[in-house]
Amino acid sequence: MVANQGFDRSLRLLSASDYSRVFSSTSVKSGCPQALFIASPNRLDHPRLGLVIARKHVKLAVHRNRLKRLIRESFRLRQAQMPSLDIVVLARRGMAELDNTAVSLMLEKQWNRLCKRALEKTT
């Protein structure tokens, strides 16, 4: 059976309280100069994603939207292998300067690191 590869509402952090819970009870972090990934376990059977792409760090709307698309797509393709976490991705200065390939490579590395650290916490 093929897992659902979509990105519907159940895979997103939707409310301010969802984000607040992740920020206040962060158990897993992973970062690089361009982004910070923070996560906390959820009680669901799937991961959820939230994005914080601030105008302060990524000036142009077209760049913010491109980064959001790339992050969502990367998450969508990896969701079946990820533990049940609520994940918030925060863009840092310099992320907009990366091309699509560099962003994809960075995301892949960070997802792997985040999943590894989450599994270490649970065992």
Which pLDDT score is estimated for 49?
94
According to DSSP, the residues that pair with 32 across neighbouring strands are 35
DSSP string, 50-111: EEE--TTTS-SHHHHHHHHHHHHHHHHHHGGGS-SEEEEEEE-TTGGGS-HHHHHHHHHHHH
Which pLDDT score is estimated for 48?
93
Domain spans of the chain, in order of start: 9-122
Tell me the pTM.
Answer: 0.89
pLDDT tens, position by position, for the chain (123 residues)? 345 566 778 888 989 999 999 999 888 999 899 999 999 998 888 899 999 999 999 999 999 999 999 999 999 999 888 889 999 999 999 899 999 999 999 999 999 999 899 888 776
Helix (H, G, I), strand (E, B) or coil at 6: coil
Helix (H) or strand (E) holding 20: helix 16-24
- Top CATH class of 9-122 equals alpha beta
